[in-house]
Amino acid sequence: MPLFVVTCTDQAGTVEKRLAIRPQHLARLEQLNAEGRLIVAGAMPKDPSNPKAGFYGSTIIVDFDSREALDAWLADEPFLKEGVYSHIDVKPFNKAFPKG
C-alpha cells in the first residue's frame, strides 16, 4: 500500500480548541495504529515544554490504499472539521529507512 506524508498547518489562535478536541483526534490515530496503517504521527509545538504556547501543526505518515481513501479519512478529521487546521498538504512517500 502507498505511504503518504500529511502535513497539517494550525490556524492561529486555536490552541484551546486543539487541546479540547485532541482526544477525538487521538482516537482516530489509535484506530489507524491498531490497523497497522500509522507509521508515525506527532504535533509540532511552538514550545515543546508548554502546550499552551500553541502549535505549528501536525505531521503524520500513513499507509492507505489510495489517495482517495486517505482523502475520505481526512474529511472526518476533527481538527479539520473544527477549524484547527487551516491547511493540509499530502504528498506520496517512499520509506527507505529504517528497513522493514
Q: What is the CATH number of the domain that holds 56?
A: 3.30.70.1060
What pLDDT does 99 receive? 85
Residues 55, 19 contacting (CB under 8 angstroms): no
State in Å, rounded, how far the first CA of the chain is from the last one.
14
Domain count, the chain: 1
Q: What are phi and psi of 46, to 5 degrees?
A: -70, -35
CA Rg, the chain, in Å? 14
Q: pLDDT means per 10 residues in the chain (100 residues)?
A: 95 96 97 97 97 96 97 97 97 91
With the C-alpha atoms ordered 53, 21, 29, 61, is the resulting torsion angle positive or negative?
A: negative
Q: Is residue 45 part of a domain?
A: yes
Whole domain around residue 12: which residue ranges? Answer: 3-93
**Bridge partners (DSSP) listed for residue 93:** 3
What pLDDT does 48 receive? 96
